[in-house]
Chain A
């Protein structure tokens, strides 16, 4: 069905279609609309799930853990301070191998209070064992949410998945949305290690170093296996519903001399910037990184890279730029832009490319 929706509405609609048994959530700007929509679906009987209105985000993830431990599908959504408040439980969810799905409306962290887009919240959770995908449009928010359940619950993965969408610039903007009849795209949730009172066991018991090591390696092995599961899921999604996704969305990259790498909505803006630059004779392209964990393998060849980070690791650098540098031995032009919702247009991005200085770091609106 073709409609028009916000990013938040797209996520809520996908969750309704995925039919989780339990949704536990706490409101926070700019995620609020997701949980309002779901609570409304549940109250009006549009959705059969149980909605637990928890008293904090720590408890929303805890309640999802408790629900998932029994073997049912669960979902939550959060943003910014809510995400970092549940940090401990993010580790717990992944360590307990529970396929919880969560939407995170990317937002800056205080102080001072700032409710606008930034990736520092989710990127500071990058080592929790969660898969992370960053979306660039309302349609993609819907599609990625549906796929997240199938990927998380796949027996080779059994890890939680976080869908990240930029606060306001995606959560609150209206775009066309085509919803689908998902049929059996998401198989019934089966968790082999769900609690079984007929066969009692200890879960998360005191674990000595040798065993702890094995469990951590198991997480990494699942993370590596998830690469294939993501590809299979995205292929199957394309086959059924006609929309194709990849871990990195490349735009006019094949013959490009310089490629802009970014995540989320800035990655979409970069595509427009590439068109502008091409008209000027600069062979530019855009590579929008969708999956941040597992980190994708990309072959940039000898192309120059302009990496836009909507985040920063203090004392080190832009997180995406530094990860790409570490993974592929490249020396990008690192642009720090869009923090706390700073407006960054495609013209600005074109400007970053024109004035690129490989190896340098540029803070947009500050450095100049």
Chain B
């Protein structure tokens, strides 16, 4: 068990929704990063959660930037800090829309250039800040305000896009497993160069489940295999925690889907496709663990 610092860098009274997992994630990100850090935030829920000028609920400098620009701003910031001989952590904290859609070009460029920074995508699988519109991160079958009958396309496989940049460290995490998340942020920040962590962040109002079930929903995602916890360190792949168990035996995806209002009315065919996708992904990960691919 890692020793989690007692210092709090998110102060009380943020503007987060009840049961917000993104705030929980950020709390542990800050604890792992410590005070010599800057958070670069494009438009996303965190733009609002941090509070309204002249107040801030964050005890770490937060640099808000335009939607598409987070990773590029971080490039300039990290380069400038290193020029001054400063080791300040530069951490992008962006939602799924700001990462897989509008921000992917800047992200790809910053990764390719070997920027010394950590990019965290907290993924609530929609444009939640603007009221739950579809993003490239929204899963097949999920209802959003712009896919009122359920999304007809698959969730974009961001991790394989990021992995193609051959960066020294990338990982996935989930708000329901904060210790795993804490360790991954710690490790990422100890490695020079570009790092990436993709974190599933269940959203009670957006996914339409009771706010008391945030942690349970994250655990269900991992136990069904809808979300997989893993690390790629210098190309070496390893499964983590509950995903190891899910590799051997996992709950059916139906158990996850039926708990959320966004999947209400989903048809059997779509459930079947989602289940097949999970099974296929798990097979691929199993082969990676064995070093076959």
Contacts and interface: CB of A to CB of B under 8 A. Distances in A.
- Provide the main secondary structure of the chain A interface: mixed
Given A55-B105, A70-B77, A205-B62, A62 B69 contact: yes
A109 interface: no
Contact of B63 (A52, A59, A203): A203
A56 interface: yes
Contact of B75 (A21, A54, A69, A205): A54
A200 B63 CA distance: 10
Given A22-B80, A50-B83, A58 B72 contact: yes
B56 A66 contact: no
Given A56-B105, A66-B80, A211 B63 contact: no
A156 B74 CA distance: 27
A242 interface: no
Interface string B147-190: 00000000000000000000000000000000000000000000
B84 to A, nearest CB: 7
Contacts of A200: 35, 56, 58-62
B100 to A, nearest CB: 17
A207 B55 CA distance: 10
Instruction: Specify which of A70, A198, A204, A211 lies most central, judged by the most chain B CB atoms within 10 Å of its CB.
Output: A70
A281 interface: no
A65 B73 contact: yes
B94 to A, nearest CB: 13
A92 B58 CA distance: 22
Interface in B39-85: 40, 47-48, 50-56, 58-66, 68-69, 71-84
B8 interface: no
B37 interface: yes
B76 A92 contact: no
Interface string B86-118: 001000000000000000011011001100000
A203 B61 contact: yes
A174 to B, nearest CB: 33
Nearest to A212: B53
Contacts of B288: none
A1 interface: no
B283 interface: no
A201 B56 contact: yes
A212 to B, nearest CB: 9
Contacts of A38: none
Contact of B79 (A52, A60, A198, A205): A52
Interface residues of A, number: 41
Contacts of A195: 38, 61, 63, 77
A92 B65 contact: yes
Instruction: Specify which of A62, A92, A195 lies most central, judged by the most chain B CB atoms within 10 Å of its CB.
Output: A62
B52 A206 contact: yes
A362 B48 CA distance: 52
A202 B106 contact: no
A24 interface: yes
Given A58-B72, A70-B80, A92 B60 contact: no
Contacts of B213: none
B68 A203 contact: no
B62 A202 contact: yes
Contact of A207 (B48, B53, B68, B80): B53
Given A24-B75, A52-B76, A64-B76, A206 B83 contact: no
Contacts of A63: 72-73, 75-76, 79
Contacts of A203: 61-64
B36 interface: yes
Contacts of B60: 197, 200
B76 A24 contact: yes
Contacts of A21: 80, 83-84
A74 interface: yes
Given A55-B105, A62-B72, A205-B62, A197 B52 contact: no
Nearest to A197: B36
A201 B61 contact: yes
Interface string A169-196: 0000000000000000000000000011
Contacts of B108: 55
A177 to B, nearest CB: 29
A55 B66 CA distance: 16
B51 A205 contact: yes
A65 B58 contact: no
A220 interface: no
B53 A211 contact: yes
A64 B58 CA distance: 24
A92 B62 CA distance: 15
B66 A62 contact: yes
Given A59-B72, A197-B35, 16 more contacts: A24-B76, A50-B80, A52-B113, A53-B113, A55-B109, A56-B105, A66-B63, A66-B73, A66-B74, A66-B75, A67-B76, A69-B73, A197-B60, A200-B56, A202-B61, A204-B65
30 contacts: A50-B80, A53-B113, A55-B106, A56-B105, A56-B106, A58-B68, A58-B69, A59-B69, A59-B72, A63-B75, A65-B69, A66-B65, A66-B77, A66-B78, A66-B80, A67-B79, A68-B76, A69-B73, A72-B80, A74-B80, A89-B69, A195-B63, A197-B35, A201-B56, A202-B56, A203-B63, A204-B63, A205-B56, A208-B53, A211-B54
